[in-house]
Amino acid sequence: MARITANRLLKRYGNFQAVHGIDFDIADGEFVAILGPSGCGKSSTMRMIAGLESITEGQILFDGTPVNDVRARDRNVAMSFENYALYAPITVYENIAFPLRSAGKDQAEIDRAVRAVAEKMELTPLLGLKPGRLSSGQAQRVGLARALVRKPAVFLLDEPISHLDTRQRYRMRRFIKSIHQEFGHTMIYVTHDQEEALALADRVMVMSDGAIQQLATPPEVYSRPANAFVAGFVGEPPINFFDFSDADETGLTIEGNRVSLTDPLRARVRELGPVGLAAIRPHFMRLGAGSPVQLQGRGFITEELQDHNEIFVDIGSVRVSLIAPPGVKVARNETVTISVDPDHLLLFPADVKVKEHSDDL
Ligand code: ADP
């Protein structure tokens, strides 16, 4: 097991800088998910940790010792990719045993290790089968067992389950979390799926454009996002964004609605000035009056999802979604009042790019 530290870690491909000198410190035994959109530098970061990609500038340390010049196979790192590539002609047992045979372990030790990991991974009944007979979820588990059998210091997973169907993904997600609880490896998990990151990780490292936007626990990235990018990327359905204006001690204006502010929001307005971006999650808005932060809107549509409804309302020029109990609906163009929970109203500096991104959703 190992603690992983990055100091000013930078990656350039030719003239293109993919990772801009990032710092992080991952504790021994911690599970960190690297989350972000395609192309933000997640895999480059992971591949530098693994030793599969050279480090342009900066350092990676395992337990305080720089590993920049240590070859991948000497770092004691296991990696599992989406593409798990089992060897088709040999059994599940031999697939799992393969790394130990390559390392020259004796048969008794190999047998003990393979059977122990197979038991933990619920693969014992499958040990005699060839990979062609396995479902994709079973094959993925064999791939993970093969990686784990070497007892790596660090376990790296790069989008390991993104190709599975929804049900298999849910199963594998629970499996991966139980592996971490059982074996206690330092685990780093690359994903573009925010739900997967929140469900699995002790801490989530949110990246965009080659930089870390926030490295914090799931409740922190959800409830106290460091910036509008994190607010927009984390949470489903996505957070609603509004421009706000005329902010001062008395309140602020959102799409023609003047709303009053709680003390913490007033303090935030003093930092931000009169204009900026307001954000509120669909779960913290409800139909009806009763909050100091109320917005007037017109009904658009209701999606009845049975255990809850998702309601879409136009507030001025912004179409927002909110989560309501079953049975609560809006009629098209009906005038509605929306109450916002002021404890969950987030205010950020104006950011045109983030707002455009949310408009695409
Ligand atoms: P992610 O895993 O977040 O999708 P990557 O780390 O794979 O992002 O890539 C980050 C950026 O670096 C992307 O713009 C990608 O096109 C670029 N990139 C990745 N690998 C290479 C490479 N071998 N050569 C040139 N550019 C690359």
The residues near 121 (Cβ < 8 Å, ≥ 6 apart) are 141, 142, 144, 145, 148, 175, 179
pLDDT of residue 7: 98
- Sort strands 309-315 and 293-304 into parallel, antiparallel or unpaired: antiparallel
Q: For ligand 1, is residue 160 a contact (CB within 6 Å)? A: no
Write out the two tokens for 48: 């530098």
Omega prior to 99 cis, within 30 of 0: no
Determine the residue type at 77: V
Ligand 1 proximity of 42 Cβ (cutoff 6 Å)? yes
With the most atoms of ligand 1 within 8 angstroms of its CB, the residue from 9, 10, 11, 13 to mutate is 13
Ligand 1 centroid – CA 351 distance (Å): 25
* 322 three-class SS: strand
pTM metric for this prediction: 0.92
As a whole number of Å, the CA-based R_g of the chain is 24
pLDDT in tens, 244-259: 999 999 999 999 999 9
Q: Which residues pair with 143 in a beta bridge?
A: none
- pLDDT, one tens digit per residue, over 287-299 is 999 998 999 999 9
DSSP readout, 277-306? EEEE-GGGEEESS-SSEEEEEEEEEEEE-S
The pLDDT tens digits of the residues spanning 213-225 come to: 999 999 999 999 9
pLDDT, position 274 = 97
- Ligand 1 centre from 301 Cα, in Å? 40
Q: Can you tell me the mean pLDDT for 328-343?
A: 96
| pLDDT score of 265 more than 60 | yes
